[in-house]
Structure 1
Amino acid sequence: MPISRRQLLRSGAYAASLPLLNSVRPAFAAPAPADAWTHGLSLFGEVKYPSNFSHFDYVNPSAPKGGVVRLTSIGTYDNFNIVVAGVKGAIGSINQIYEALTVSALDEVSTQYGLLAEAISYPADFSSVTYRLRHEAKWHDGKPVTPEDVIFSLNAFKKYHPFYSAYYRHVTTVEKVGERDVKFTFDAPGNRELPQIVGQLVVLPKHYWEGTDASGKVRDIGATTLEPPLASGPYKIKSFVPGRSIVLERVKDYWGREIAVNVGRDNFDELRYEYFRDTTVALEAFKGDQIDWRSENSAKNWATAYDFPAVKEKRVVLEEFANRTMGIMQAFVFNIRRDKFKDPRVRRAMNYAFDFEEMNRQIFFGQYTRIASYFEGTELASSGLPSERELKILETVRDQVPPEVFTAAYTNPVGGSSENVRSNLREGLRLLKSAGYEIKERKLVDSRTGAPFELELLAYDPNFERVLLFFKPSLERMGMTVTVRTVDATQYENRLRSWDFDVVVNSWPESLSPGNEQREFWGSQAADMPGSRNLIGIKDAAIDKLIERVIFATDREDLVAATKALDRVLLWHNFVVPQWTYGKTRTARWDRFGRPAEMPKYGMSAFPDIWWFDAEKAGKTGRRS
């Protein structure tokens, strides 16, 4: 399934998302009649909203405009150009200034409506799609958004950004076919997701990037810059301190403020982002009323760090929002490009060394559950033995996949007691011995070469060190020599891009309709592509075949079966040591904001998009604007 625009804008830094649960099983979309124009696209059937709808149901169309919200970003930045990969960009903080051809509805599954585009047309075989731009769509300098801008943007992303190059690689041509019409032609028919994927293209102004800056120098779309870029969205950059803060201001004459998909959204006059290198400092800033809102990713903090006066006085609100949109695989990830991790028995042995139950008790206050699927939290997660429909798919690759796929349900080892830990350690050592390793002088060595088994656990977040340090002694009990190293975010990103790591922690978000992104996650072509999300380095013909089976599924039931088949094969290769998940997003906010009475089913907190500043509430917390 196409990833949301916001996820795409963050994907250059290996976007991660928390798992969401959903049991909806609607039918696939019926192909549109040839040459018919529509205002929205859905993978699952008819769109909810008619062409003349006035606003989404989950917004307050009368929401007041005004006020300031102060938010955090972790790390730093040195670039405003979202086309350039491999640098620490301010992408997460400035995504409100950009727009795509379409926007996702937060109360429907896999459904998009026109934003910069007013209409969409595609043939019954999905071999192409044509987008018609809104005549009123304007850049912040007043010039119209044109098909030439769309063509320029696609070509720039494909040329300079490895992730987007892969994401849009099935687009063979993009051309202007009318005054406001732009047509994307695909490399093959039948790929139902491609019309939506290109609809999420972020559009950039051709005339701006081919022009000159204030110094007279011609801009370079392939280079980093801290010049505030021209865009078309509801906000623009007002001010910034490089690497430390960014202030966005609402564009008062924004072209799209009255179109249906935007009514009730983007209500704050200013969005202020403060950058913190340390999450502990960011938390203290929130407690000191320097920040208005935060999402809490630490179970320890959620259990212990919010016992301060403003919470007791109800000036600060703690609230959890259910995640219903996605599943996830978060894990310790092996770089199987390295010889020591090529044997799945070695990788499985390290799973036996991981005592999740004790870690959950000691570090996470028992808040998490163990992940046992690459699609954890969705109906797409495999369990038990394969169904009849799954077996028909798996039979096509029987001789190319682990035999356990057909005979056993995948499970993770269970720790939590001294007896279980000892049993797991014995089994881990047995696997290592069968893979050609032995213990000599209390060290694990390759019995063929005598080389010690050494590995580095690499991270960029100092707060995650406690997890790595918890795992380290268990690996050392198996005789491994283990180093834990934390580097800054830029160095970490560069090491991942060059595949210079042993083991890292990563997560892959999964939509309710997996598809083309699976090639980017696990496909052979992505394994050697710098910047791709195939961090593991998987090159497997059977997995490639199953990915294509997912992408070209014929109906919802077929998609579910194909995805479960792919899940089983990935699991039984033991490419990762699965970690943990939590079915909600934890948030804390100073109580100075309003929100719609009924929140969108698939929007999590949807903050700050559909919230607004409530002056009356704010006065009670000691702030007026």
Structure 2
Amino acid sequence: MTPTRTSRRPVATTLTAPLRDQVKVIGLAALLALGGAVETLRAQETSDTAEMAEQEIITAHGISSFGDLKYGPDFTHFDYVNPDAPKGGFFTTWGFGSFDSMRPYILNGNGARSVGILYDTMLTGSADEPDALYGLLAESIEYPEDRSWIIFNIRPEARFHDGSPVTAADAEASYWALYNDGRPVYRLGIFRDVAGVEVLDERRIKFSFTEGAPVRDMPGTVGGLPIFPAAWLAENDFAEASMEPVPGSGPYVLSDLDEGRSITYSRVEDYWGADLPVNRGSNNFDEQRVEYFADSTAAFEGFKAGAYTFRSENSSRQWATGYDFPAIEAGHVVTETLIDGTPTGTQGWWFNLRRPQFQDPRVREAIGMMFNFEWSNRALFYDLYNRTDSFWENSYLQAEGMPTEEELAILEPLREHFPEEVFTEEAFSPVVSSAERLDRRTLRRATALMREAGYTIVDGKLVDADGEQFRLEILNDSPAFERIINPFIQNLERLGIEVVAPLIDNAQAQEREKNYDFDMTTRRYAMSLTPGTELVGIFGSSSANELDTANVMGLANEGVDALIELIAQAENRDELNVRVRALDRVLRSMHLWVPQFYSGQHFIAYRDVYERPETKPPFALGTGTWWWNEERAEELRAAGAL
């Protein structure tokens, strides 16, 4: 059932076609990237006057999931910015593959990168707090202690790029555009606990949440939605893929594009929100551009040639051996290693549990043993990486050792849904093999697991009861990743498995992932330090059979669903931490993926034309606070290096 509302616009009853997991939205990365499929309950709205009279209403400049805000109502800027940073210059980076749409919020098309800078949201996050949000479009918010609803009071000076004011009607129209015609993630996940949307007056809009739902993060969820003009939505088809973006009110506007090849955004000179505390010291470049390349090798060559100015390196080999070109020797390019203070991401090869051959967890565990990280780290990664084993790697949310009493209190009532190892063994970590080669002991253990699962070795082939060889395909659209996949394939072949991993283009890979047309695929999730209902979209049963959700593995487990709900309902950080560790422990026991590796650092290189604040924010790379050094740029121009 759909949430109640005051407008009369008809609501679409069905949505078809697949979706692609999407870009992050400022301040609410995980919440807006993922989704589930839990139906919302219809709630009857009460009189606002009567409702407010019965509750103590909080009026604030921001909100956080737990505890106090770091910045008070009179703060002038975030601590990690230079509030007097000059404006000017440009910032360019690269994108992978291609794009054919400037509308990333819908099913159709492959959305372009960085489109989010065209749009403002009611709230935006700080990069030195894990879950705090402050007013952007909203000059203040009102909500009761139980967070059963929230009212956004829109700033009177807020303007779209055409000069028209941003109103509550625009926010309401944006909500329904995303609900009706956006990716199913909105209807099935992000909005699952929205019970009602009501325009109170020109600059006030109220979102009510379903009674009994985990609402801790809901104010931030709805506060992070992009706002579009209602007038434009009334006259245009929001669901249509187009190279024309929906108009916005953000700090940048689209100024140029070469379809599939490059996008240029220009800073709005009279941007209405330039002097807001949340924006001071940010959005300093006159232009931001994204250059697209078919693969990372071509992109690196483009960087060396000066096609773009900033590169975050994701190849250890490239970082160890490639950064010795003339521009570095001449001092025109700077290389740095910065600490990454966030969970490093759950990167690995993910099984498609919809496939019959992956139903048995012993099969999945055996396949996982064939990735010899120790050899790869020495031979391929120059010992720059560590092995990933946790879904919250590089953070205090990672499960360790045997379950604690607090974890057991959560897990025991759900025991029937989990493997027994959750209760009797330490949190699962991948087997450690030899750095020289996959050792025979590991191969024997994997073979034994396959035998227990009903397979036998016949003439060197792993076959089932019908004599059919076990076969799997690994989806790959990156030439640079072949050197990592190929040794894994060789080890799988030693186990008797037939493996194929054809190199396909990015567009084809995206389409196949949308429709879950793969056996194994590489995926990386950036996990939050304050996870909540977004986990439904990655691990929830309700998202397992919806096309193009983040639940690529197709996990459907009632116990996991219950743990996710407990995490979303946590009332303090201690509760949250214990519940997340319990979930981490359970997920690791299920062998849903073959975890790969992480560094815990940012490897970056850039043309020496940028300056940045002395303080790097702990939860972001921070390039949004950098600024242009025109004097240095002139020197590079004179040297022909810019």
Is 1:56 aligned to residue 78 of structure 2?
Answer: yes
Matches of 1:297 and 1:8 in 2, distance apart?
24
The amino acid of 1:576's aligned partner reads: W
- Residues 547-586 of structure 1 mapped to structure 2, 5 A cutoff: 547-586=564-603
- Residues 164-175 of structure 1 mapped to structure 2, 5 A cutoff: 164-165=186-187, 166-175=189-198
Which of 306, 310, 329 in structure 2 is aligned with 1:312? 329
Deviation at 1:352, TM superposition (A): 1.6
1:354-391 CA distance string (max 9 Å, x none): 11100111111111111111111111100100111111
1:230-268 CA distance string (max 9 Å, x none): 111111011111111111111111111111111111111
Label 1:307 to 1:601 Cα distance change in 2 as closer, same or farther (>3 A).
Answer: same
Q: Is the 8 A contact 2:142 2:151 kept in 1?
A: yes
Q: How many residues align?
A: 596
Q: Which residue in the other structure is 1:204 paired with?
A: 228
Q: Is the 8 A contact 2:148 2:215 kept in 1?
A: yes
Q: TM-score, normalised by structure 2?
A: 0.89
Q: Is the 8 A contact 1:13 1:493 kept in 2?
A: no
Q: Which residue in the other structure is 1:425 paired with?
A: 443
Is 1:436 aligned to residue 454 of structure 2?
Answer: yes
Label 1:11 to 1:516 Cα distance change in 2 as closer, same or farther (>3 A).
Answer: closer
Which of 137, 140, 144 in structure 2 is aligned with 1:116? 137
Which of 156, 161, 183 in structure 1 is aligned with 2:206? 183
1:130-167 CA distance string (max 9 Å, x none): 11111111100111111121112122222321222312
Is 1:194 aligned to residue 214 of structure 2?
Answer: no
Q: Is the 8 A contact 1:78 1:225 kept in 2?
A: yes
SS of residue paired to 2:60:
coil
Is 1:412 aligned to residue 435 of structure 2?
Answer: no
Matches of 1:439 and 1:259 in 2, distance apart?
67
Which of 507, 521, 528 in structure 2 is aligned with 1:490? 507
Q: Which residue in the other structure is 2:14 paired with?
A: none
- Residues 354-433 of structure 1 mapped to structure 2, 5 A cutoff: 354-409=371-426, 410-417=428-435, 421-433=439-451
Q: Is the 8 A contact 1:327 1:512 kept in 2?
A: no
Q: Is the 8 A contact 2:104 2:115 kept in 1?
A: no
The amino acid of 1:557's aligned partner reads: D
Q: Which residue in the other structure is 2:58 paired with?
A: 36
* Bigger mean CA deviation after superposition, 555-564 or 136-145: 555-564
The amino acid of 1:612's aligned partner reads: W
Matches of 2:429 and 2:251 in 1, distance apart?
47
Matches of 2:437 and 2:118 in 1, distance apart?
56
Label 1:11 to 1:518 Cα distance change in 2 as closer, same or farther (>3 A).
Answer: closer
Deviation at 1:474, TM superposition (A): 0.5
Which of 464, 468, 473 in structure 1 is aligned with 2:490? 473
The amino acid of 2:228's aligned partner reads: L
Q: Which residue in the other structure is 1:144 paired with?
A: 165
Is 1:100 aligned to residue 116 of structure 2?
Answer: no
Matches of 2:116 and 2:577 in 1, distance apart?
32
Q: Is the 8 A contact 1:4 1:104 kept in 2?
A: no
Q: Is the 8 A contact 1:86 1:493 kept in 2?
A: no
SS of residue paired to 2:507:
helix
The amino acid of 2:219's aligned partner reads: P
Deviation at 1:411, TM superposition (A): 2.0
- Residues 207-222 of structure 1 mapped to structure 2, 5 A cutoff: 207-211=231-235, 219-222=236-239
Deviation at 1:465, TM superposition (A): 1.8
Matches of 2:594 and 2:156 in 1, distance apart?
51
Q: Which residue in the other structure is 1:161 paired with?
A: 183
Matches of 1:528 and 1:83 in 2, distance apart?
20
Label 1:484 to 1:372 Cα distance change in 2 as closer, same or farther (>3 A).
Answer: same
Label 1:269 to 1:10 Cα distance change in 2 as closer, same or farther (>3 A).
Answer: farther
Q: Which residue in the other structure is 1:530 paired with?
A: 547
Matches of 2:431 and 2:438 in 1, distance apart?
9
Q: Is the 8 A contact 1:78 1:226 kept in 2?
A: yes
Matches of 2:563 and 2:281 in 1, distance apart?
42
1:301-339 CA distance string (max 9 Å, x none): 000110112212322110122111334211111001111
Matches of 1:9 and 1:559 in 2, distance apart?
19
Deviation at 1:4, TM superposition (A): 5.7
1:492-550 CA distance string (max 9 Å, x none): 12211211110011122211111111111100000011121111111111111111111
Deviation at 1:418, TM superposition (A): 5.9
Q: Is the 8 A contact 1:527 1:534 kept in 2?
A: yes
Deviation at 1:485, TM superposition (A): 2.0
Q: Is the 8 A contact 1:63 1:267 kept in 2?
A: yes
Deviation at 1:8, TM superposition (A): 6.4
SS of residue paired to 1:622:
helix
Matches of 1:560 and 1:12 in 2, distance apart?
22
Matches of 1:578 and 1:285 in 2, distance apart?
31
Matches of 1:288 and 1:10 in 2, distance apart?
35
Q: Is the 8 A contact 2:388 2:595 kept in 1?
A: yes
- Unpaired segments ≥5 residues, structure 2: 1-22, 36-54
The amino acid of 1:432's aligned partner reads: M
Q: Is the 8 A contact 2:66 2:572 kept in 1?
A: no
1:403-434 CA distance string (max 9 Å, x none): 11111111211112568621011010100001
The amino acid of 1:108's aligned partner reads: E
The amino acid of 1:59's aligned partner reads: V
Matches of 1:186 and 1:210 in 2, distance apart?
26
Which of 452, 472, 481 in structure 1 is aligned with 2:469? 452
Q: Which residue in the other structure is 2:151 paired with?
A: 130
- Unpaired segments ≥5 residues, structure 1: 16-32, 212-218
Percentage identity across paired residues of the two chains = 38
* Bigger mean CA deviation after superposition, 532-541 or 149-158: 149-158
The amino acid of 2:444's aligned partner reads: R
Is 1:279 aligned to residue 296 of structure 2?
Answer: yes
Q: Is the 8 A contact 1:9 1:95 kept in 2?
A: no
Deviation at 1:272, TM superposition (A): 2.1
Deviation at 1:597, TM superposition (A): 2.1
Q: Which residue in the other structure is 1:78 paired with?
A: 100
Matches of 2:438 and 2:379 in 1, distance apart?
17
The amino acid of 1:184's aligned partner reads: F
The amino acid of 1:185's aligned partner reads: S
Matches of 1:317 and 1:188 in 2, distance apart?
54
Matches of 2:65 and 2:591 in 1, distance apart?
31
The amino acid of 2:485's aligned partner reads: L
Matches of 1:383 and 1:423 in 2, distance apart?
25
Matches of 1:294 and 1:36 in 2, distance apart?
44
Q: TM-score, normalised by structure 1?
A: 0.92
Matches of 1:174 and 1:196 in 2, distance apart?
15
